[in-house]
Amino acid sequence: MRLAEREQHWQHEAEEILVGFMEWRQQHPHATLSALEEALDERWAVARARILQDAALASTAANLRAVPAEERPRCPQCGELMEVRGPEERHLTTTYEQPISLRRQYAVCAACNEALFPPR
């Protein structure tokens, strides 16, 4: 997905969150400030995770094979140029307890077996 398409998608998602929140607010006219905050945070957390995942996968680190060898990461332990492996999928949890998946290459040092995922 190109940057313009991603931005349009994110904007549409933000609009859906606001509409959904306004609908929730109409259904809960006596909600406390804490309840309002929680309802809004729940919605933003989901969108935040999707945007975070998209942004991470769009970075140059997502396709380490496309990076010239001399620009690839060096081992933080011994300084050797790291080899590209994978791709593999990594499942993470965001600050707001939302799952994301990153399918990316990773880097391994042939000299000392140190690994970086995601690299960089």
Q: What is the pLDDT of residue 120?
A: 46
pLDDT digits 0-9 by tens, 37-93: 999 999 999 999 988 898 888 876 667 788 888 888 888 889 898 888 888 888 999
Number of H helices, E strands in the chain: 2, 3
Residue-range definition of the domain harbouring residue 94: 3-116
Between CA 102 and CA 71 the distance in angstroms is 22
If one counts the domains in the chain, the total is 1
DSSP letters spanning 62-82? GGGGGS-GGGSPBPTTT-PBP
User: Which is more confidently placed, 117 or 31?
Assistant: 31
Report the C-alpha gap between 104 and 62 in whole angstroms.
Answer: 5
What is the CB-side half-sphere exposure of residue 97 using CA atoms within 13 A? 3
Tell me how far apart the alpha carbons of residues 22 and 30 are, in angstroms, rounded to a whole number: 13
**Higher local confidence (pLDDT), 89 or 6:** 89
Bond before 118 cis per omega within 30 degrees: yes
Alpha helices, DSSP H, located in the chain: 3-27, 33-58
